[in-house]
Amino acid sequence: MRLGRIAHPEGICFALIEGEEELVAKEIKGTPFTPPETTGREWKLDEVRLLAPTLPTKVVALGRNYADHVAEVFKESAEHLPPTIFVKPSTSVIGPGAEIKIPDFATNVEFEGELAVVISKVSKNIDPDNWQDHVLGYTICNDVSSRDLQFADGQWARAKGIDTFCPLGPWIETDLNVLDLDDAKINAYLTHDGKTEHKQDSNTNQMIVKMGGILQRISQAFTLLPGDVVTTGSPAGTAEMVPGDTIEIHIPGVGSLRNPVARA
């Protein structure tokens, strides 16, 4: 089941996203954290606008969780730079199609395509063997990062937390069996001056800390609330993006998240 959040002609709501060739958004009552009940109102997806599929109080991420990305960005081995936790504020979240806006003080901004999960209930000290009991579903995150600020500041709050630096979407895929987390593809494409390049071409089998361990580690420190997002790390292939570019991240079984880049 795909759960989305949409802006329709009369307002905003959560919706079931159904269909294959022609997608339809069916309004549901309330929030996605109870069994969905449709209201009877529906629209073709091209008649509405997809928003970020959740309204998280926080996005908690595990950085440096792919060895190839550690070597690519930090010029160190993962043995010397273990995974680290950081938080992106709710004000950084945008939805599919919304502009990533780069401010003048961020001069080397890169995309990072990542698999993410949306939390289903209040969660603390998650048992890694039962992590699925705490997850509503999968979504995609673009962990936009200003490398100049990241290295200048020595910590990552500003570099990764700027407004619009956390695109999420296109929806929440609630079937947790749709992915084999030992073998799930992650792809990212950069379109610059009309030319599209396949930049990230990786697999979740490269994750250092696996899903259960990620959620255990993060929930030991932070109480996770319904709708919060946990990201699982970026593989190699990240690259600079500039105003006028477009980034598309695709995870088979989950969907595609596409955002243009603009000047703030």
Q: What is the pLDDT of residues 190-240, one digit of tens each?
A: 999 999 999 999 999 889 999 999 999 999 999 999 999 999 999 989 999
> What share of the chain in percent tops pLDDT 70?
96
CA dist 69 to 87, 93, 182, 228, Å?
Answer: 19, 23, 18, 25
Position 114 pLDDT exceeds 90: yes
Mean pLDDT of all residues in the chain?
A: 94
What's the pLDDT at 260? 98
First to last CA, the chain: 35
Strand positions, DSSP E, 55-133: 58-63, 84-89, 93-94, 100-102, 109-110, 113-119
Position 132 pLDDT exceeds 90: yes
Nearest to 169 by CA among 60, 93, 110: 93
How many helices (H) does the chain have, and how many strands (E)?
4, 19
Q: Which residue has tokens 């609330």? A: 225
Q: How far apart are CA 57 and CA 179, in angstroms?
A: 26
Position 123 pLDDT exceeds 70: yes
Instruction: Tell me the chain's radius of gyration from C-alpha atoms.
Output: 18
Token pair in block for residue 203: 């697999």
What's the pLDDT at 78? 56
What's the pLDDT at 32? 94
What's the pLDDT at 112? 96
Please tell us whether the domain made up of 59-263 is placed in CATH 3.40.630.10.
Answer: no
What's the pLDDT at 154? 87
Give residue-wise pLDDT tens across range 56-99.
Answer: 999 999 988 987 767 777 656 555 567 889 999 999 999 999 99
Mean pLDDT, residues 169-178: 98
Could you give the residue range(s) of every CATH 3.90.850.10 domain in the chain?
A: 59-263
Could you give the residue range(s) of every CATH 2.30.30.370 domain in the chain?
A: 2-51
What's the pLDDT at 79? 56
For domain 2-51, give the CATH superfamily: FAH (2.30.30.370)
